[in-house]
Amino acid sequence: MSAILEVKTTVEGFRLWPAALDAQTQADLVDAVLARLGEGPFYRPQTPGGRPFSVKMSNFGPLGWVSDRGGYRYQATHPQTGRAWPDIPPVLLALWDATVGGPRRPDACLVNLYRQGAKMGLHQDKDEADLGAPVLSVSLGDAAMFRIGPAQGGRTTGLKLESGDVCALTGPARLARHGIDRVMEGSSRLIPGGGRLNLTLRVAGLSPR
Ligand code: MD6
Ligand code: FE
């Protein structure tokens, strides 16, 4: 992984590396994602209240984030196929080491696909066993407006995330509220069939002992 440059943001603990991935790395990463989707296809989860998400999801790694009538949780198998999730693409683990690093590598990678007006409401990532470990996010394809604000609520800030941008919720921002307001459809040609892919790497499970 070549040196990547971090920029300061107004939210303490929210870290942003604009254009962290060059065009070739982005294309290779899309290929790595597509190659794994046969084994772990996209599906549309439901909220605990029974409403379908507008975003389609899959996961890579030992654990995957799922949502259904039973609530939010991590589990080792795909809810529709019953199979283990595909492995996390190695380039993402290298990116983790080059950015947030730390004592544990991620054991979960949520894959979000935004097409046809899909967006994601303000939420906190708090289903992980260790809320001290950072969450790292990679954006690919169409640009999107990301919104972030304090954990306890209050004023939020919007910023544009473009293909190849990497950001992280760390330290005081780990439980920040955040979401995707809008995707600029057609702003990128990276993803076959169009849209935006977001990959979020997490330390989800208990540390092995
Ligand atoms: C998205 N991202 O960019 C949604 N979560 O499509 C997230 O929910 C997210 O960007 C944790 C940390 C960074 C993120
Ligand atoms: Fe999130």
pLDDT digits (tens, 9 = 90+) for 75-132: 999 999 999 999 999 999 999 999 999 899 999 999 999 999 999 999 999 999 999 9
Q: Which atom of ligand 1 is nearest to the CA of 114?
A: 6
pLDDT at 5: 81
* Model confidence at 3: pLDDT above 70: no
Average pLDDT over residues 137-166: 96
CA-nearest residue for atom 7, ligand 1, is 179
b (16+ CB within 10 A) / e for 159-186: bebbbbbbbbbbeebbebbbebebbebe
pTM of the model: 0.95
Average pLDDT over residues 144-153: 95
Average pLDDT over residues 144-173: 95
Q: Please tell me the CATH superfamily of domain 14-202, with its number.
A: Alpha-ketoglutarate-dependent dioxygenase AlkB-like (2.60.120.590)
Indicate the top mutation candidate among 200, 201, 203 to test ligand 1's pocket, ranked by most ligand atoms within 8 A of CB.
200
CA-nearest residue for atom 14, ligand 1, is 137
